[in-house]
Amino acid sequence: MKKGKKLIVANWKMNPGTAAEARSLFLASRRAAAEARRLSVVVCPPFPFLSLFSRLANGVISLGSQDACWRNGGPYTGEVSPEILKDIGVTISIIGHSERRARGETDDIVSRKAQAVVREGITALVCVGERTRDENGDFFATLREQIKASFSKVQRRFLSDIIIAYEPLWAIGRNWRDAATPEAVREAAIFIRKVMADIFGDAGAQALVLYGGSVGPENAQALLRDGDIAGFLVGHESLEPDAFAWLTQIANDL
């Protein structure tokens, strides 16, 4: 990730189904990234595909993981450590995605994982977001608690290796029309940086915030222009080469 550049992170989730498809999608994403040199573009494929792309990344595009273990080495069947991820070229790890939190990942585990990856020199992209929005604004309290708990074990010196993704659950996996509005994203981003400043002091207010939740070429421009964010965490539209190329071009040209 390069300083000062907008950041687009593609979260492929559990897609595609074969290495051949993954390779072709990766090469298409790399072409899109090559046409958008004012952006940093990161692709987070399923774990087994990561090492296939180590040598293909070429400085044009970076590799990210969708998760990481909170330990390096040991009897943790099925887990992948930050040390292994670092060795195969991963620069960013998504931590605490809502789809993992839904399977029992607690704020405490998120906090341990965030600490483990930053210690390894990997940027922790920590996801937070409310399940529903209420008119009284109670969701702000939910966000605050989630952020405080998710960073409880992260030392201040690692602040520059932390990015927060605001991913409201109600906006994930839908049509772009159902995504959060630029105003809602802006409000959340300002609030998140305020809470980060409460935890880490003034420097916390500089934390980078991404938005994720039904981002596509149709809403990318308005969200980036008015959402007060540093970029996007993109799900299903990152699996569509044309849409992803269009999205990155829009972000690049802004």
Binding-site ranges for ligand 13P (CB under 6 A): 11, 97, 167, 172-173, 212-215, 233-237
Nearer to ligand 13P, 116 or 179 (CB): 179
CB of 13 to ligand 13P, least distance (A): 7
HSE, side-chain direction, 13 A CA sphere, residue 141? 5
Nearer to ligand 13P, 25 or 215 (CB): 215
Nearer to ligand 13P, 67 or 237 (CB): 237
Catalytic residue among 99, 120, 167, 237: 167
- Return the axis-axis angle of helices 241-253 and 217-226, rounded to nearest 10°: 30
Question: Is residue 236 annotated as part of the catalytic site, yes or no?
Answer: no
Distances (CA, A) of 48 to 115, 192, 243: 23, 33, 25
Nearer to ligand 13P, 12 or 70 (CB): 12
Nearest residue to ligand 13P, by Cβ distance, number only: 235
Residue 98, amino acid: S
Phi-psi category of residue 129: left, alpha or beta, with phi > 0 → left and psi -120 to 50 → alpha: left
Residue 196, amino acid: M
CB of 107 to ligand 13P, least distance (A): 18
Tokens standing for residue 165: 């993704």
Residue 148 to residue 194: CA distance in whole angstroms: 11
Residue 245 to residue 254: CA distance in whole angstroms: 14
CB of 8 to ligand 13P, least distance (A): 11
CB of 202 to ligand 13P, least distance (A): 29
- Return the axis-axis angle of helices 217-226 and 182-200, rounded to nearest 10°: 50
Nearest to 252 by CA among 60, 2, 37: 37
Question: Is residue 167 annotated as part of the catalytic site, yes or no?
Answer: yes
Catalytic residue among 97, 99, 130, 237: 97
The residues annotated with a catalytic role in the active site are 97, 167
